[in-house]
Amino acid sequence: MNDRSGPPRPWRPHAPRPTSHADVPPATTDADPDAHALADDPHHPHDAGPFPHDKLDAYHVALEMAALAQRVAAQIPRGHRTIADHLLRAAPNTVLLLAEGANRRGAALKRQRFNESRGEAGEVAAAADLLVTLEVGDPALICELKRRASRVSAMLTRLINRLV
């Protein structure tokens, strides 16, 4: 039985509760020293969307790594296309698995996808090492790719350790 008398009230969304700066969570979800530099960049799309991965700096660094991997792969000559193919698969997989993990609900599933993403970032780094060893491509661009892959891997390691 209904204890309320009268017609039902129409549904209305709640007005947002005013918050002080003390109530606002930090802009980043990764324990990365460079995270605030990204958050202060007006062109950085932090909090750009409704998905959990949009809020992860690791996701945005992985996107940068994937774009750089594509530039490096485009410079690889014909005789070394297998390395380019690995780069063109591993870098996007890093991004996609990271996003998939961030959107999973259980800690075990998140951890599994983040581990897989970290493995893909390691493959990007290994491909960069191989290119340097074989003296293929622009060494400065390849070193930057490896640095980004290493950074993504470190950020993923911290995310994984938080889920233990």
pLDDT in tens, 108-154: 999 999 999 999 999 999 999 999 999 999 999 999 999 999 999 99
pLDDT in tens, 46-86: 556 789 899 999 999 999 999 999 999 999 999 999 999 99
Model's pTM, two decimal places?
0.70
CB contact at 8 A, 142 and 128: yes
Quick check: is 40 in a domain? Answer: no
Q: Decide if pLDDT at 44 tops 90.
A: no
If one counts the domains in the chain, the total is 1
Quick check: is 2 in a domain? Answer: no
CB contact at 8 A, 27 and 46: yes
Residue type, 142: I
CATH of the domain at 92: 1.20.1440.60
Quick check: is 141 in a domain? Answer: yes
Quick check: is 138 in a domain? Answer: yes
Quick check: is 27 in a domain? Answer: no
Residue of higher predicted confidence among 124 and 37: 124
pLDDT of residue 33: 43
pLDDT of residue 10: 55
Quick check: is 64 in a domain? Answer: yes
Q: Decide if pLDDT at 21 tops 70.
A: no
Q: In whole angstroms, what is the distance from residue 53 CA to residue 65 CA?
A: 16
The answer to which of 7-21, 55-69, 89-103, 123-137 has the lowest mean pLDDT is 7-21
- Burial string for 122-154 (b: 16+ CB within 10 Å, else e) reads bbbbebbebbeeeebbeeeebebbbebbbbbbb
- Cα angle vertex 95, ends 58, 142, to 5°? 85
Quick check: is 72 in a domain? Answer: yes
Q: Decide if pLDDT at 25 tops 60.
A: no
* Domain, as residue range, for 153: 51-162
Quick check: is 7 in a domain? Answer: no
